[in-house]
Structure 1
Amino acid sequence: MTPQIEIVGPQFSTFVRSVMLCCEEKGIAYHAGMQLEGQDVEFKGEAHLAINPLGKVPVIHHKGRFLYETGPICRYLDSAFEGQALQPQDLYAKSIVDQWCQVISTQVDRVIVRDYLLEFAFPKGENGAIRMDKVADAQPSVIAVLGILEQQIGDQAFICGDQFTIADALLIPMLDYLVGLPHGEQLLRPDMRLTSYIGRMQKRASCQNVLPKPAKPK
């Protein structure tokens, strides 16, 4: 099927995966990778900076136009394409989803991905070793954030209620990487509701198509 949109960004990126999940949920045909119209795009190279001067991913290309920043991309896809709604109709419920999208994209991403997972994926220690002191320093904040998410999920099917939303698309790639660490069960115990949520999401068709891709978070 000819892609309806191009997602510029490596498929191991958590935020690229979030956009891919939204496409999967809505049935949007897409291509994801560091290519644009069949040409390779060097990360932070001239072609990349031309479509996002901040040099970040993802960027989407749709009908000759470009858009970057994951939250706005996902909201655009939800509005521009038919298919399953990824946001509630009710104003307050929609605002709650927006609230959690903001929290996940900033604070949760910083604590879980930037300060923790990246040390395992791209270790900066001597001879490429993981800096276990940095891991130990970051782990209390990871545990604290997971506690907040555990409280939020409660008995709900999804992070913001009974509907898969953009907030789930943002969150699950991060948690999928986290639970996949060798010591993942120390952070996400089998008896936690958040662990059950991750298991349910991993079985979802969209996640089955996205999460098993090359496994390095960014």
Structure 2
Amino acid sequence: MKPYLFGPAFSTLVRSVRLHALERGLDLPCGLAPGGQAIAWRSEAHLALHPFGQVPVLLDGEQRIFETLAICRHLDRQLAPERGGNPEQDAWSSALLTTVDTHLVRRYLLRIAGPRPEPFRTPEEQQRALAAVDATLGVLDRQLGDQRFLCGAEFSLPDALLVPMLDYLEPLPELRWSASWPRLAAYLDRLRARPSGQAILVATDFKLR
């Protein structure tokens, strides 16, 4: 049975895993119905796949692998075993899945600007979230510098983790970050133009205002 990624196609982390897999040569299907059997969110069946009822989860034969980094490392062992670990890439992968995801996705995109923003947020919280986004983009811009990709001359896991976040943030009118950070904007354009980006970074049912 072909590996299957449990999780909705619009999820930033699901998109990241699929980008990473496609760059390794695997077109990884995703959804909430492995084997054609729908699994309800946070149901017993979902919790059997991920103990905290989250996504993504990779179903690969008899293996059930949860958490994005573990899934991507499993795919690396299967698809590109000749590529050993890289400390810089590992460090940035960790930072992107924790600090960057928190600032860009959890506290801004989902809570402030997404399709179902938190109704009880305050103007002060919104300003703090915007400031954190701006500071985080500044750090990312400095890391990117004049490189083609976040950690050098070649696409790597940090790129797969970052580009879905930027892809969702870019059209938001209140940010207008592409004008402030032209190197990041050009980077996003490059990754959108790659075959993997054209396949994964497409319109979804995750509608931004």
Question: CA, structure 1 residues 216+196, in 2 after alignment: closer, same or farther (shift >3 Å)?
Answer: same
Question: CA, structure 1 residues 103+10, in 2 after alignment: closer, same or farther (shift >3 Å)?
Answer: same
Deviations 1:99-152 (A, max 9, x none): 0000000000000000000122221227xxx86553322101110000000000
Question: Structure 1 unaligned runs (5+)?
Answer: none
Confirm or deny that 1:102 pairs with 2:94. yes
AA at the equivalent of 2:54: K
User: When the two structures are aligned, how many residues end up with a matched partner?
Assistant: 205
Maintained 8 Å contact 1:123/1:131: no
- Which residue in the other structure is 2:162 paired with? 171
Aligned pairs for 1:36-51 within 5 A:
36-51=34-49
Name which of 191, 195, 203 aligns with 1:205: 195
Name which of 7, 13, 31 aligns with 1:33: 31
Question: CA, structure 1 residues 107+191, in 2 after alignment: closer, same or farther (shift >3 Å)?
Answer: closer
What is the CA–CA distance in structure 1 between the aligned matches of 2:150 and 2:197, rounded to whole Å? 15
Partner of 2:179, secondary structure, is: coil
What is the CA–CA distance in structure 2 between the aligned matches of 1:132 and 1:107, rounded to whole Å? 22
Confirm or deny that 1:120 pairs with 2:110. no
AA at the equivalent of 2:50: N
Partner of 2:55, secondary structure, is: coil
What is the CA–CA distance in structure 1 between the aligned matches of 2:47 and 2:133, rounded to whole Å? 32
What is the CA–CA distance in structure 2 between the aligned matches of 1:215 and 1:136, rounded to whole Å? 27
Question: Structure 2 unaligned runs (5+)?
Answer: none
Deviations 1:158-212 (A, max 9, x none): 0000110111000100011111212342x23166211111111111110111111
What is the CA–CA distance in structure 2 between the aligned matches of 1:115 and 1:82, rounded to whole Å? 34
- Which residue in the other structure is 2:184 paired with? 194
What is the CA–CA distance in structure 2 between the aligned matches of 1:32 and 1:195, rounded to whole Å? 28
Name which of 133, 137, 152 aligns with 2:143: 152
Question: CA, structure 1 residues 190+204, in 2 after alignment: closer, same or farther (shift >3 Å)?
Answer: farther
Maintained 8 Å contact 1:173/1:211: yes
Confirm or deny that 1:137 pairs with 2:136. no
TM-score by length of 1: 0.87
Aligned pairs for 1:53-132 within 5 A:
53-82=51-80, 89=84, 94-118=86-110, 119-121=112-114, 122-125=116-119
